Structure 1
């Protein structure tokens, strides 16, 4: 009697009709293929100081190897996860891992891996999480990652030495977290990134990106974190300040002009980092942001404008950090500074043009750990 079964070659399936008496042999061949693909990865590791790969014996069951997990559904012995994080592994990534077509989780972060990211990784049909952060990887980001990886949910390549442009984005209906921060990426952010409507976090800070930030990013309705600081952008469209779902907004540095009042419409914001820019004019009234915890506007050219923004911030009961050092704030601090959140831990107004006495009410903040008023023209006694 004949039955239809799968035959895997290098962990790929192909249909074939064969006698049931051949099942054990074919299963064995498929297991051998997966074992060899994993062993090829091991051979690319040049330093394993903790001996974590010592269990990877070519004659053993690869499902028992350190970091390897196999699925429980039929057929058996199908690799679904490879997790070898923070093990000081050195060497290069093997393209043979792309033959593990059932893998959904690939985490090799926080090691000492070097060389390029194999373009074959973009062909893994079920891969959901790709974590290669905190390594020494170099070269360009394979375009296949943003073209053929239709099921990816997380791409984390942070803190490597990747260079070149960010590839264009194609159909990526499931991608939620994109972290390419702290690399050497250059060129412009592709406008096609704005078409990835499933994104909730975009981290591109600490690169060498330039040009205008595409307005298309404002179309991503569920975006909660947008970090673009420490690049060389020339223009930020006002629409980026209007993303109402944002909780973390880090656009520094090299931004010029005014902070638009529409920033107050992003009612879910928890953290605003616009430090070390060339922003000028008054600080908008942000009292309508009930979840705001951190407001960092340091190292700009902002003006106090009768300190109306301080009075407005008294409505932000979750505020823990207010940093406005190295600006052009002048005049005397208002009494309303004593009504800032009882959770306030850090108030930094150093290196401005503030004069007069410190309001006694400033001492009413029970959680205040740091009060920086250096390089101003403050007079009188320090409040108890």
Structure 2
């Protein structure tokens, strides 16, 4: 730890260098958001950079750069922002892979990357960010399977990955996500059956898996989800039927979408 870092109010060279590396990966900045980042202004005053904390007020806690028109890739040096709790980059044009260095951010609570052009697979070691509350990858070009390791994210409440190109099965480890209230995974290429383990997610209020290649029957355990408000599994290859007293199982249901199945 540097002397500056150890002093309340002191700046941190690692944070500054990481932010400059982030800026260096931006190829187009139409609103001059990161192009305004320069040495004449303290980095905690740079646009979209939020610092704070009682003991370390000049450590970067959040990057709020959504809807900024940014084009570029995400610098691996972002993993050096060790006090970061939120990355909010939605509604831009980031491309390339999500760097595995994100997994170094043990304090991270919100990773919000939807509506970009990220490619490649989801780094499984993001599961090391054990404080994650929201993980939002929707509307990208991500491929491969959903990491089984995500089942260790016990604090995760919101998971969205709809409109990507994800394949393979829904991990059975999702049954361990006891804090989860939202799974939004429509319009991928997911296959296999709906895991029986999803019936363990008693806080779930939104389950959206339409537009995939799921088959088999809806497991009876799903009827344990009495808080469920939206259940969407349309455009799959599911079979079977619902119990006649469905409303007793789902008293809070406001959306039921099952068209184009078997």
Q: Is structure 2 residue 98 aligned with structure 1 residue 117?
A: yes
Structure-2 change in CA distance of 1:48 and 1:225 (3 Å): same
Structure-2 change in CA distance of 1:167 and 1:24 (3 Å): closer
Per-residue CA distance 1:328-376 (angstroms, 9 max, x = gap): xxxxxxxxxxxxxxxxxxxxxxxxxxxxxxxxxxxxxxxxxxxxxxxxx
Structure-2 change in CA distance of 1:59 and 1:36 (3 Å): farther
Corresponding residue for 1:165? Answer: 145
Q: Secondary structure at the match of 1:161?
A: coil
CA drift of 1:97 comes to: 1.0
Is the deviation greater in 69-78 or in 209-218?
69-78
The answer as to whether partners of 1:129 and 1:154 remain within 8 angstroms in 2 is: yes
TM-score normalised by length of structure 2? 0.93
1:191 pairs with one of 172, 187, 204: 172
Corresponding residue for 1:249? Answer: 231
1:258 pairs with one of 241, 250, 262: 241
Q: How well do the aligned residues superpose, as a CA RMSD in angstroms?
A: 1.8
Corresponding residue for 1:154? Answer: 134
Counterpart Cα distance in 2 of 1:213 and 1:170: 15
Equivalences for 1:84-233 in 2 at 5 Å? 84-145=65-126, 147-168=127-148, 169-233=150-214
Bigger Rg, structure 1 or 2:
1
Corresponding residue for 2:252? Answer: 268
Q: Is structure 2 residue 233 aligned with structure 1 residue 239?
A: no
Counterpart Cα distance in 1 of 2:208 and 2:4: 53
TM-score normalised by length of structure 1? 0.64
Counterpart Cα distance in 1 of 2:10 and 2:224: 56
The answer as to whether partners of 2:23 and 2:35 remain within 8 angstroms in 1 is: no
Equivalences for 1:233-382 in 2 at 5 Å? 233-235=214-216, 236-253=218-235, 254-264=237-247, 265-278=249-262
Which runs of 5 or more residues in structure 2 are unaligned? none
